[in-house]
C-alpha cells in the first residue's frame, strides 16, 4: 500500500515519528480501567496524576449546577474565560492562597481548556519554531508535548545527574545547558519549573526561587512557574514516621509572594501557570490559567489565540460554581490534603516495609521511588549505562499484573529504574495496586 504520509504537513509527520510515552500509558490504562465491581481484573492507575479522593464531594457540588440550561448550549462570554470566573480565580485562589505582594486582578490572566493548552499557548507566544525552553530533570513528561508538538519549540533538557533541583548549585548546570544549546544554534527563550515539583513532590525554597529569577534576568529569558499543585501540599497533615522522615519542611512559596521581585528579575519576564486538574481533582474538565501580572502584551497575545482552546460552557459554569464560595474551597482543600496525607502514608509505609528507597514528598499526588533493586542481574550492566530495557521490563510486568506506574524515562530521568508512584486513589484500590506492583517487581527481578 502506498505510504500516504507525504500528504501530511512536515510538522504532522514529525509528530507521528515521536512517541508520546505518557499518553500511550494513559490510553492503555483507560482501555481496561479497574473497577472493584465491574472490572476487578482491570488496570489500577498508579501512574497518571489523577486525584480520585474527592469524587463524592465534587459530585455534590457539581450536582447543584443546571448543566442542561439552554444558556449553556451556546458560546460562553469569552474564549479567554468569563470575567466572573477570572474574578473567582483572582480573589478566591490567587489572592487568598498564594499571598501575592500585589493583589491579582482578573484582567491579568487568560483561561484555556487545560494547563497543557496554557503551556502550549504560552510557548507559541514567546518562542518561534526551533527556539528553546530549559527544564531540569526529572520533569513532567507532558511538557515535551506541550512545548514541542504544535509550537515546534525545543525542550532544552538540563540533566542534573545526581544533583537534586532543590540544591542551589544546580542553577550553574542550567547556565551550562543554556550555553550548550546556544552553541548548537538554539536560542533559549524561557525556563519552566514546577513548584511543588513534579515528579519529586517537594517545594522549592525561597532562596532557589530567587536564584531562578536571577537566572532569567541574567539571560533575558521568560520564566514560567507551574504552581498547579499549590493547594495539594500535605506535609503538615503527616504524623509518625512519615512526618519524621521529612527532610525539613519548606512551605509552598509562590513567586507572587516574594517581595521586591524587581531586585532579582524584570517583572514582565515572570509568569504563573495554574489549573483545576490537580488541587480540585478535575482532570477531565480541562481548565488552565496563565497569570502574567506585569506583561499585558503577553496577555493580549494569549487572548488572540484563545479561541482555539475555549472551555465549554458547561465546564465554565460548573467551575464558576465551585470557585464562587471561599468556604467551600477551604473545606474542600483541607479535606483533600488530609486524604492525600493518609494515602501517602500508606504508600511510604509499604515501600519502607519492602526496603524500596524513595524521596519523601510534601505535596502533589505522587512520590519518586527507586526500583533498581528489581532489575534482573542480566540487565544491571546495560541499565547502569542508561539502556532502558530493564525499566520497560518492569513496566510491562506491572501492566501484566494489572497496575500502571509511570517510569523514569517519561520524566527524562537519565538513571534507569526510577518510577513515579501515584497514591491519590482510594485506600482499598491503593492497597491492591501496591500489592500488584510489588508482586510484579519481585517476579521480574527473578527473570534471567
Lookup result for grid cell 467551600:
328
Query: 380 exposed, middle or buried (CB, 10 Å; 0-12, 13-18, 19+)?
Result: middle
Q: Are strands 222-226 and 403-404 parallel, antiparallel or unpaired?
A: unpaired
- The sign one gets for the Cα dihedral 164, 170, 174, 179 is negative
123 contact partners, CB below 8 Å, separation of at least 6: 133, 146, 147, 151, 153, 190
Element (H, E) at 126: helix 115-126
Q: How far apart are CA 209 and CA 215, in angstroms?
A: 10
**Residues 192/211, Cβ–Cβ less than 8 Å:** no
**Residues 430/423, Cβ–Cβ less than 8 Å:** yes
Q: How far apart are CA 210 and CA 59, in angstroms?
A: 40
Neighbours of 235 (CB within 10 A): 24
pLDDT at residue 27, rounded to an integer: 80
**Residues 380/1, Cβ–Cβ less than 8 Å:** no
Name the packing angle between helices 389-401 and 427-445 (round to 10°).
130
pLDDT at residue 3, rounded to an integer: 61
pLDDT at residue 341, rounded to an integer: 98
324 contact partners, CB below 8 Å, separation of at least 6: 88, 92
Which structural domains are found in the chain, ordered by start? Answer: 9-56+330-445 (3.90.1150.10), 70-325 (3.40.640.10)
Cis peptide before 93 (omega within 30 of 0): no
**Phi, psi (deg, nearest 5) at residue 271:** -140, 155
pLDDT at residue 1, rounded to an integer: 42
Q: How many helices (H) and strands (E) does the chain have?
A: 16, 13
Bridge partners of residue 134, in order along the sequence: 156, 191
Q: How far apart are CA 211 and CA 219, in angstroms?
A: 12
pLDDT at residue 31, rounded to an integer: 86
Question: How many residues make up the chain in this entry?
Answer: 448
User: How do residues 165-218 score in pLDDT, each as one tens digit?
Assistant: 999 989 999 999 999 999 999 999 999 999 999 999 999 999 999 999 999 999
CA distances 107 to 84, 86, 251, 268, 439, Å, are 11, 8, 28, 15, 52
C-alpha cell at 248: 525539613
pLDDT at residue 56, rounded to an integer: 93
Counting as low any pLDDT under 70, the low residues of the chain are: 1-5, 19-23, 67, 447-448
* C-alpha dihedral (230, 236, 240, 243), degrees to nearest 10: 60
Amino acid at each position: 500500500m502506498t505510504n500516504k504520509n507525504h500528504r501530511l504537513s512536515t510538522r504532522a509527520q514529525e509528530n507521528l515519528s515521536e512517541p508520546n510515552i505518557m499518553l500511550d500509558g494513559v490510553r492503555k490504562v483507560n482501555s481496561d480501567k479497574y473497577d472493584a465491581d465491574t472490572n476487578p481484573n482491570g488496570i489500577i492507575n498508579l501512574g497518571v496524576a489523577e486525584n480520585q479522593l474527592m469524587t463524592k464531594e465534587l459530585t455534590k457540588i457539581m450536582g447543584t449546577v443546571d448543566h442542561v440550561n439552554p444558556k449553556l448550549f451556546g458560546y460562553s462570554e469569552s474564549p479567554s474565560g468569563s470575567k466572573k470566573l477570572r474574578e473567582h480565580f483572582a480573589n478566591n485562589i490567587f489572592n487568598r492562597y498564594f499571598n501575592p505582594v500585589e493583589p491579582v486582578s482578573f484582567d491579568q490572566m487568560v483561561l484555556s481548556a487545560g494547563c497543557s493548552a496554557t503551556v502550549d499557548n504560552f510557548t507559541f507566544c514567546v518562542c518561534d519554531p526551533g527556539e528553546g525552553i530549559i527544564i531540569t530533570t526529572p520533569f513532567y513528561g507532558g511538557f515535551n508535548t506541550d512545548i514541542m508538538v504544535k509550537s515546534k519549540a525545543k525542550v532544552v533538557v538540563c540533566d542534573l545527574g545526581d544533583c537534586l533541583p532543590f540544591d542551589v548549585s544546580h542553577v550553574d548546570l542550567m547556565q551550562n545547558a543554556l550555553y550548550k544549546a546556544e552553541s548548537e544554534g538554539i536560542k533559549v527563550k524561557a525556563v519552566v519549573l514546577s513548584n511543588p515539583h513534579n515528579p519529586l513532590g517537594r517545594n522549592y525554597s525561597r532562596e532557589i526561587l530567587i536564584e531562578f529569577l536571577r537566572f532569567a534576568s541574567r539571560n533575558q529569558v521568560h520564566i514560567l512557574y507551574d504552581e498547579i499543585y499549590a493547594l495539594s501540599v500535605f506535609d503538615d497533615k503527616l504524623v509518625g514516621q512519615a512526618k519524621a522522615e521529612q527532610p525539613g519542611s519548606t512551605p509552598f512559596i509562590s513567586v507572587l509572594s516574594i517581595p521586591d521581585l524587581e531586585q532579582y528579575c524584570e517583572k514582565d519576564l515572570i509568569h504563573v501557570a495554574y489549573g483545576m486538574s490537580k488541587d480540585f481533582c478535575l482532570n477531565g474538565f480541562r481548565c488552565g490559567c496563565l497569570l502574567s501580572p506585569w506583561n499585558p502584551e503577553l496577555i493580549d497575545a494569549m487572548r488572540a489565540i484563545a479561541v482555539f482552546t475555549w472551555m465549554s460552557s458547561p465546564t465554565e459554569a460548573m467551575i464558576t460554581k465551585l470557585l464562587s464560595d471561599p468556604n467551600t474551597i477551604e473545606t474542600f482543600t483541607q479535606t483533600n490534603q488530609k486524604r492525600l496525607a493518609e494515602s501517602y502514608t500508606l504508600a511510604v509505609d509499604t515501600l519502607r516495609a519492602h526496603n524500596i528507597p524513595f524521596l519523601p514528598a510534601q505535596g502533589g499526588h505522587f512520590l519518586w521511588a527507586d526500583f533498581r533493586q528489581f532489575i534482573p542481574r542480566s540487565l544491571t550492566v546495560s541499565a547502569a549505562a542508561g539502556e532502558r530495557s530493564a525499566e520497560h521490563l518492569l513496566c510491562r510486568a506491572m501492566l501484566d499484573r494489572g497496575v500502571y506506574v509511570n517510569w523514569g524515562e517519561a520524566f527524562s530521568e537519565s538513571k534507569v529504574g526510577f518510577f513515579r508512584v501515584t497514591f491519590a486513589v482510594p485506600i482499598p484500590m491503593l492497597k491492591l495496586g501496591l500489592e500488584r506492583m510489588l508482586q510484579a517487581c519481585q517476579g521480574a527481578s527473578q527473570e534471567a
